[in-house]
Amino acid sequence: MLAEFGTVDILVNNAGITRDSTFVRMNKEDWDKVLRTDLDSMFNMTKPLLGGMLKRQFGRIVNVSSVNGARGALSH
């Protein structure tokens, strides 16, 4: 990305998946898929770009999350 665009001023992390299941029924494979997509993707995109933003003293990072993070959800 940096080779193509040179610098990135704004990064929007908007990757997310869900596995519609209660925690009790969720298996480890689904848990890992959710974390890899929701958390690791944010780290993997932000880490290489953050240094340039700090050096230029400019940049914006927007992390979009699920409404379930704010109010929770119960799946029966």
Would you say residue 76 has pLDDT above 90? no
8-19: b or e for each residue (b if 16 or more CB lie within 10 Å)?
beebebeeeeee
pTM over 0.85: no
> Which conformational region is residue 67 in: left (phi greater than 0), alpha (psi within -120 to 50 degrees), or beta?
alpha
- Which of 7, 13, 1 lies closest to 52, judged by CA? 7
Collapsing DSSP to helix, strand or coil, 22 comes out as coil
- The reported pLDDT for the residue numbered 52 is 94
Would you say residue 75 has pLDDT above 90? no
- The reported pLDDT for the residue numbered 16 is 83
Q: Where are the domains of the chain?
A: 2-68
